[in-house]
Amino acid sequence: MIAEEKIAEIRQAARISEFISPHVALKRRGRNLVGLCPFHDEKTPSFSVNDERGFYHCFGCGTGGNVFKFLMAIEGLSFPEAVRKVAERYGIDVPEEGGGPQAPSRDRYFQANASAARYFRRCLLETPAGRPVLEYLSQRGIGEDASETFLLGASPTSGDGLLRWFKKESIDLSVGRQLGLLLERGGRLQDRFRGRLMFPIRDVQGRVVGFAGRAVAEDAGPKYLNSPESPVYHKSRVLYGLFEAREALRETSTLILVEGYLDAIALRQAGMGSVAATCGTALTAEQARTIRRQADEVVVVFDGDSAGTAAAARSFPVFTDAGLWPKMVVLPGGEDPDSFVRARGLEAFEAELGRAVPLVDAFVRYTAQAAGGGASGAARAASELSAVLARLENPFERDVLIRKAALWTGISEDVLRRQAPGAAARSGAARRGPATQPAKAPGGAPGPEELLVTLMLTGDDIVRRVHDEKVIDLMVSPVWKPVATAMIDRFNRGLPGDAGTTLEEIPEQYRRRVAERLVEGAGLDDAGTRERILADCVRGIRRSARRRHNQSLLLELRRREELGADVKPGEDLADWKPRNLSDA
Ligand SMILES: [Zn+2]
């Protein structure tokens, strides 16, 4: 058995179209890709693939599912084979069947990390070892609230404090070693982090996956020391502070992306909650996709020096591949967000956000300058820009990039346009005729329970809200309640949503129109519309529940009347018979 959460991790890493396109020629249509269904004979494409939510659905024959289902159906793989195939593509390790004593479960890594975080926190607050770190925090203006929110801690200089703590807590020391918290030196196990301010790094579910330790003394080695890659820590997937930002991201759909741990903490402390940090690594495709799942817009606020500007510029194509069109702020005087917000306050920072410019500007300028001068430099820059251009699907975004590229390379817009015909032109045939549109499903307007399930399929933020609002208990539909319940169960087990699988759980006669709404979008991607639909659904479901409740109260009143006045309120009616019957 492959662990459920491993399977979810692999599915989330996958771009489903990468696995379908070798079998089906796909063309872009809006946010989806369409092609001729490989599972039934057809002349016009009704096979739809949605990368964002990781599912495919054929409106002709009704087949559909997630990436694993597709590989099983088309290549005849078993489920574990399909999972392994996808994992291999993304370099994700899948533990062998059965696990065995050699492979501790992921839970044990999370437990060890959580235990270490508790230990570091205690050291900070309750031991003399925490004093230099507390001093450093107060120098940096980090207060207790922020320290608590981010679970900041201190690693003592002794070198075996965590080792002894792990022994006391019965944590498997080999797990501690694999996590890079302990290391062997001269044949003895020791603490890896010493005399450092400790930042626990959490995944989007709030589990501690790794640590960063910042030196607080001058001569204490490298400024930052990070956990190595481990079974639970993958640097390329994590964004620092994203978990802590989840509350704020429910209020706003704009994420502020910064570079450093302390930038994220300082902004949060100043009152800017929707912030996450890349922690000095170049933005990866996985990070960008993670951001896209949590936010609709991004403002990149990297350090004001040239390295920061270059890093921001280089992140542009990574963002656009994930479907984001970011903005950028360059802070005056080469300041970083931490120093800026401490010196000048939140209002000044918000004013800078108000002056954010599209990141595409910095990207084009950077590419043109990095390619060097002269005709060969311009040609080099133009071909790099064309490569990005070719992947852009939004015609307005393409137009902006072409105009900027022409301006900075001196190559004419016409030439640039010809060099990168673009997705829109390539899929022109698919956009033309109404015959290629999927046929409309029959049936009346969907009720609130159906709409709610559809909305839950669009993102785990909605699933969380439905869970928190306890709406499921009030649902009654034999079709939609089981589907919604299954989704909440997944959520409670810490697993991300799986639109492909959930669609299959919906009875066939309804599946088509839910898939249709998902594929067509129908405003389901717009934050405001989502909120409105969610509120309407919840209100509708509550109202029906109230009506049913009132009806049953009324019924009970009538029964009591029938039974006579001597039934005391609250008494069970089941044992009573109407008086005229018992008297007879
Ligand atoms: Zn089909």
Residue ranges per structural domain of the chain:
4-89, 106-226, 246-357, 371-434, 440-584
Q: Is 26 helix (H, G, I), strand (E, B) or coil?
A: coil
Mean pLDDT value across residues 369-394: 82
Burial of 301 (0-12, 13-18, 19+ CB in 10 A): buried
Contact criterion met (CB below 8 Å) for 54 and 460: no
Burial of 203 (0-12, 13-18, 19+ CB in 10 A): buried
Domain covering 246-357 assigned CATH 3.40.1360.10 in the classification:
yes
* Contacts of residue 574, Cβ cutoff 8 Å, sequence gap at least 6: none
Q: What is d(CA 336, CA 305) in angstroms, rounded to the nearest whole number? A: 8
What percent of the chain clears pLDDT 90, i.e. is strictly above it?
Answer: 42
Mean pLDDT value across residues 267-287: 91
Contact criterion met (CB below 8 Å) for 214 and 223: yes
Higher confidence at residue 293 or residue 165? 165
Which value does ipTM take for this structure? 0.94
Cα–ligand 1 centroid distance for 451 (angstroms): 25
**Range with the poorest average pLDDT among 186-195, 231-240, 358-367, 422-431:** 422-431
Cα–ligand 1 centroid distance for 144 (angstroms): 58
Question: What secondary structure letter does DSSP report for 566?
Answer: T
Is it the case that residue 85 has pLDDT exceeding 50? Answer: yes
Q: What is d(CA 120, CA 327) in angstroms, rounded to the nearest whole number? A: 37
Fold match between domain 106-226 and domain 440-584: no
How many angstroms separate the most distant Cα atoms in the chain?
A: 111
Mean pLDDT value across residues 42-70: 91
pLDDT of residue 270: 95
Cα–ligand 1 centroid distance for 64 (angstroms): 9
pLDDT of residue 177: 94
Q: Which residues surround ligand 1, an ion (CB under 5 A)?
A: 37, 39-40, 58, 60-61
Q: Is 266 helix (H, G, I), strand (E, B) or coil?
A: helix
Instruction: Note the CATH number of domain 440-584.
Output: 1.10.860
Higher confidence at residue 19 or residue 321? 19
Cα–ligand 1 centroid distance for 439 (angstroms): 13
The tally of CA atoms less than 13 A away on the side-chain side of residue 504 is 13
Q: What is d(CA 368, CA 376) in angstroms, rounded to the nearest whole number? A: 11
Integer CA distances (angstroms), 425 to 17, 132, 422, 432, in order: 19, 61, 6, 11
78: number of Cβ within 10 Å = 11
Size of the chain, expressed as the number of residues it contains: 584
Cα–ligand 1 centroid distance for 59 (angstroms): 7
> Domain 106-226 falls in which CATH fold?
DNA primase DNAg catalytic core, N-terminal domain (3.90.980)
Q: What is d(CA 149, CA 206) in angstroms, rounded to the nearest whole number? A: 11
Contact criterion met (CB below 8 Å) for 149 and 182: no
Is it the case that residue 445 has pLDDT exceeding 80? Answer: no
Cα–ligand 1 centroid distance for 47 (angstroms): 6
Cα–ligand 1 centroid distance for 61 (angstroms): 4
CATH class of 4-89: alpha beta
Is it the case that residue 314 has pLDDT exceeding 70? Answer: yes
**Range with the poorest average pLDDT among 208-212, 320-324, 422-426:** 422-426
User: What tokens appear for 228 in the block?
Assistant: 């190595």
Higher confidence at residue 538 or residue 41? 538
Mean of all residue pLDDT scores within the chain: 85
Cα–ligand 1 centroid distance for 48 (angstroms): 9
Higher confidence at residue 323 or residue 571? 323
Cα–ligand 1 centroid distance for 140 (angstroms): 60
